[in-house]
Structure 1
């Protein structure tokens, strides 16, 4: 897909996420002091107050938490119908990531999902997406 709406991949809190995706890796931020996954990613842990956080590699698997199908096209780069999914990471269920599937796929709650990586245009960012496993 050649998208004209691109995520900003140079933000100080999320640049590591997009850098890993460009390498074909899915990551999430976690606190090194208490182990809690941090989503959205931050430099300080809101659970223990720790200031030691790092990006951790995820397996790239999860469970379908929620979804909705968009039936009305609102942008030319995204023809309807398409389905937006929210996936909980297997190793960190408190981390929920979004993705997009074309059409109206048959989905069920808790369905196993697998990440794949979508390049957005020439030289653009790479976005983790999800599909049924």
Structure 2
């Protein structure tokens, strides 16, 4: 992929630790230490219980395909079409859903197992967690 012109703000106080972890090859999410809920988008305050006792938790990098859409008309030079946007729900925290991008129009199915990989955007750019279909899991084991 060529150098992108649209990049995330990796210095934001709410999401900076997410991108810092991704640069280290780790997937994290913000969670409430009081009620146990995941916080997406990540915030220091829990909207579920009202608490401020939140922190970053390490995720396994496994999830399942919650939704997807394929973009067939190019809308920006950084993103040549076709590409598919996926929404993946984390296995260990079902209320956290993360977005990713796959090139082309892959064969996907609702609920299929997904795994994280990390895309570096240029030599000095940020790293983004992305998703791809995981190795087939036998029917009935989910």
Unaligned 5+ segments in structure 1 are none
Residue equivalent to 1:38: 39
Unaligned 5+ segments in structure 2 are 135-142
| Runs of 4+ off more than 3 Å | none
Residue equivalent to 1:62: 63
What TM-score do the two structures reach when normalised by structure 1?
Answer: 0.97
Determine helix, strand or coil for the equivalent of 1:5. Answer: coil
What TM-score do the two structures reach when normalised by structure 2?
Answer: 0.91
Give the CA RMSD over aligned residues: 0.7
Residue equivalent to 1:110: 111
Residue equivalent to 1:125: 126
Determine helix, strand or coil for the equivalent of 2:86. Answer: strand
Deviation of 1:44 (Å): 1.0
The whole-number CA distance in structure 2 between the counterparts of 1:74 and 1:48 is 40
The number of residues matched between the two structures is 133
The whole-number CA distance in structure 1 between the counterparts of 2:7 and 2:85 is 16
Residue equivalent to 1:76: 77
